[in-house]
Amino acid sequence: MARVVVVGAGLGGLAAAARLAATGHAVTVLEQAPQVGGKLGWYARDGHGFDTGPSLITLPQVLEELFAATGAPLSDVLELRRLDTAVGYRFADGIRLSMPGRLDAVPAALDDALGGGAGAQWSALLERAATMWGVTEEPFLRSPLAGPATLLRLARDASDLATIAPWLSLRQLGARYLTDPRLRMLLDRYATYSGSDPRRTPAALATVPYAEQAFGSWYVPGGLRRLVEAVAARAVQRGATLRTDAPVVEVLLSGGRAAGVRLADGERVPADVVVCNADAAALYRDLLPAQAPVRRARAALRRVTPSSSGFVLLLALRGRTPGLAHHTVLFPADYDAEFDALFGTRTHRPHPVADPAVYVSAPDDPATRPDAHSESCFVLVNAPRHDPGRGVDWTAPGLADRHADAVLATMARRGLDVRDRMRWRVVRTPADLARETGSVGGSIYGTSSNGARAAFLRPGNAAALPGLFLVGGSAHPGGGLPLVTLSAQIVAGLIGPA
- Domains in the chain, number: 3
The secondary structure of 109-124 as a DSSP string is: HHHHHH-TTHHHHHHH
The residues, any chain, with a CB within 8 Å of residue 459's CB and separated by 6 or more, are: 280, 284, 297, 300, 301, 446, 447, 470, 474, 475, 476
With a cut of 50, list the residues of the chain below it in pLDDT. Answer: none
The reported pLDDT for the residue numbered 157 is 66
pLDDT at 203: 94
Q: State whether 254 and 210 are in the same domain.
A: no
Residue-level pLDDT at 150? 59
Strands 26-30 and 3-7: parallel
SS3 386: strand
* 259 belongs to a structural domain: yes
Cα torsion 64, 69, 75, 77 to 10°: value is -120
Predicted pLDDT at 298: 84
Domain shared by 279 and 245, yes or no: yes
Q: Show Cβ contacts of residue 332 under 8 Å, excluding neighbours closer than 6 positions.
A: 92, 338, 355, 356, 357
> How many C-beta atoms lie closer than 10 Å to residue 134's C-beta?
12
Give the model's pLDDT for residue 395.
98
Both 365 and 271 in one domain: the answer is no
Question: In this structure, are 400 and 475 located in the same domain?
Answer: no
Residues 232, 203 share a domain:
no
The reply to whether 376 falls in a domain is yes
Give the per-residue pLDDT at 303.
81
Alpha-carbon dihedral sign for residues 219, 220, 224, 227: negative
Residues 6+ apart with CB under 8 A from 15: 66, 231, 471, 484, 485, 488, 489
Instruction: Please choose, from the candidates 384, 386, 406, the residue with its C-alpha nearest in 3D space to the C-alpha of residue 339.
Output: 384
In this structure, are 314 and 201 located in the same domain?
Answer: no
Sign of CA dihedral 405, 406, 411, 417: positive
Report the pLDDT value the prediction gives residue 294, as an integer from 0 to 100.
85
Residues 244 and 195 in one domain: no
The domain boundary residue, chosen from 216, 248, 274: 216
Q: Evaluate whether residue 363 is within a structural domain.
A: yes
Answer whether 460's CB lies under 8 Å from 476's CB: yes
d(C-alpha 383, C-alpha 94), whole Å: 25
Residue 152 sits in the same domain as residue 181:
yes
Q: Residue 466 has what DSSP assignment?
A: T
- Residue 482 maps to a domain: yes
Say whether both 366 and 299 belong to one domain. Answer: no
The string over 90-117, giving b where at least 16 C-beta atoms fall within 10 Å of a residue's C-beta and e elsewhere, is bbbeeeebbbbbebeebbebbeebbeee
Q: Which of 170, 191, 216 lies at the terminal end of a domain, its last residue? A: 216
Q: pTM to 2 decimals? A: 0.95
Neighbours of 483 (CB within 10 A): 22
Cβ 198 vs Cβ 166: under 8 Å: no
- Would you say how long the chain is, in residues? 498
Among 168, 198, 216, residue at a domain's last position: 216
Task: Answer yes or no: is 79 within a domain.
Answer: no
- From residue 10, alpha-carbon distances to 16, 38, 242, 311 in Å are 10, 4, 12, 20
Q: Residue 290 burial (CB < 10 Å; 0-12/13-18/19+)?
A: exposed
Are 275 and 297 contained in the same domain?
yes
CA distance 283 to 269: 17
Asked, for residue 15, whether it belongs to a domain, the answer is: yes
Q: What is the pLDDT of residue 458?
A: 85
Inside any domain, residue 354:
yes
**9-32 pLDDT, tens per residue?**
999 999 999 999 999 999 999 999
Pairing assessment for the beta strands 273-276 and 3-7 based on DSSP bridges: parallel
pLDDT of residue 151: 55
**Domain residue limits at 291:** 3-40+60-71+221-304+458-495
Look at residue 300 and tell me if it is in a domain. Answer: yes
Q: What is the CATH number of the domain that holds 487?
A: 3.50.50.60
Rounded to whole angstroms, how far apart are CA atoms 129 and 22? Answer: 35
259 plus 360 within the same structural domain: no
276-317 pLDDT per residue, tens: 999 999 999 999 988 878 888 888 888 888 999 999 999 999
pLDDT reported for residue 261: 98
Q: Clarify whether residues 325 and 295 are in a common domain.
A: no
